[in-house]
């Protein structure tokens, strides 16, 4: 059954714009067809289409559903701007794995340069990818994709996170994976992780030192060296295993 994030007023959901088009033109749904709807409070309801007008679909709640879908801790992924469509892959798959937020990072070795004038369309596309992935994976929230930031902005943004990690390949070469395990064991439900991943060329020593000086801890992600688009998915999978499967 299709899932949509929509405006909610008591027992009614109002669906507009792209989701309206998807219901009416793509799925060709009719009155009485059922869908899932999610409101801003992360509440999910099984709904029945009650009305289809020229620009919106109205759905009535049949049943409010219970169940915890989101990760017990929030994980924000900071990705050094990679080449091609790798960031889109990270956003899509990271959303499926439960990421809370995505923060593109303009690292020293990022080949891709951010153009503020042309970047608006990319940002819209990235957030659309997150929305569609959240619907597909039956999330109760849509992860936000931030505008790319530099390292100074990253350090300022990091204030207030419970755990701050940097995935560092030198730690992987040294076989260091205990830091991630220890940090996950120390966390309680509702706390937050900010995890930084470098671009294809990795982080520079200067960047690593600066992050360490501001409370970030370096961690390895297993004994193998992972690609920039693989590492965030490894971490999210590890978080899910620790907090969800081990329970």
Looking at the structure, do residues 102 and 216 belong to the same domain, yes or no? yes
Looking at the structure, do residues 211 and 104 belong to the same domain, yes or no? yes
Q: Which domain holds residue 19?
A: 3-65
Work out how many domains the chain is built from and give that number: 2
CA distance 182 to 53: 54
Looking at the structure, do residues 119 and 237 belong to the same domain, yes or no? yes
Question: 55: exposed, middle or buried (C-beta count within 10 Å: 0-12, 13-18, 19+)?
Answer: exposed
Looking at the structure, do residues 153 and 112 belong to the same domain, yes or no? yes
What pLDDT is recorded for position 213?
Answer: 96
Q: Which residues pair with 15 in a beta bridge?
A: 57
Looking at the structure, do residues 220 and 123 belong to the same domain, yes or no? yes
**C-alpha separations of 154 from 42, 120, 195, 210 in Å:** 28, 20, 11, 11
Domain CATH for 10? 2.40.240.20
pLDDT tens digit sequence for 119-159? 889 999 999 999 999 999 999 999 999 999 999 999 999 99
Looking at the structure, do residues 120 and 241 belong to the same domain, yes or no? yes
Looking at the structure, do residues 96 and 23 belong to the same domain, yes or no? no
Looking at the structure, do residues 60 and 78 belong to the same domain, yes or no? no
Looking at the structure, do residues 53 and 84 belong to the same domain, yes or no? no
pLDDT tens digit sequence for 201-221? 999 999 999 999 999 999 989
Average pLDDT score, the chain:
93
Task: Mark which of 48, 65, 82 sits at the end of a domain.
Answer: 65
Looking at the structure, do residues 49 and 128 belong to the same domain, yes or no? no
What pLDDT is recorded for position 186?
Answer: 94
Looking at the structure, do residues 60 and 84 belong to the same domain, yes or no? no
Task: Mark which of 65, 87, 111 sits at the end of a domain.
Answer: 65
Domain CATH for 180? 3.40.1280.10
Task: Mark which of 18, 34, 65 sits at the end of a domain.
Answer: 65
CA distance 241 to 43: 24
Looking at the structure, do residues 201 and 158 belong to the same domain, yes or no? yes
Q: Ramachandran region of residue 190, left (φ > 0), alpha (ψ -120 to 50) or beta? A: left
pLDDT tens digit sequence for 60-108? 999 999 888 999 999 999 999 999 999 999 999 999 999 999 999 999 9
């Amino acid at each position: 059954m299709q899932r949509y994030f929509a405006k909610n007023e008591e027992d009614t959901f109002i669906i507009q714009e792209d989701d309206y088009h998807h219901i009416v033109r793509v799925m060709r749904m009719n009155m009485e067809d059922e869908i899932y709807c999610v409101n801003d409070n992360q509440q999910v309801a099984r709904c029945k289409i009650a009305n289809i007008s020229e620009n919106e679909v109205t759905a009535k709640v049949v049943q409010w559903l219970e169940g915890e879908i989101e990760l017990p801790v929030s994980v924000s992924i900071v990705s050094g701007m990679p080449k091609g469509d790798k960031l889109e892959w990270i956003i899509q798959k990271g959303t499926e794995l439960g990421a809370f937020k995505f923060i593109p990072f303009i690292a020293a070795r990022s080949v891709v340069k951010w153009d503020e004038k042309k970047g608006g369309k990319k940002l819209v596309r990235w957030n659309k990818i997150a929305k569609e992935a959240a619907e597909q994976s039956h999330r109760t929230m849509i992860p936000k994709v931030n505008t790319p930031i530099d390292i100074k902005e990253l350090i300022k943004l990091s204030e207030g996170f419970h755990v701050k990690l940097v995935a560092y390949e030198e730690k992987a070469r040294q076989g260091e994976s205990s830091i991630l395990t220890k940090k996950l064991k120390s966390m309680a439900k509702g706390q937050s992780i900010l995890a930084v991943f470098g671009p294809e060329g990795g982080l520079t020593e200067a960047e690593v030192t600066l992050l360490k000086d501001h409370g970030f801890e370096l961690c390895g992600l297993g004994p193998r060296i992972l690609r920039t688009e693989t590492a965030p998915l490894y971490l999210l999978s590890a978080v899910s295993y620790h907090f969800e499967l081990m329970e």
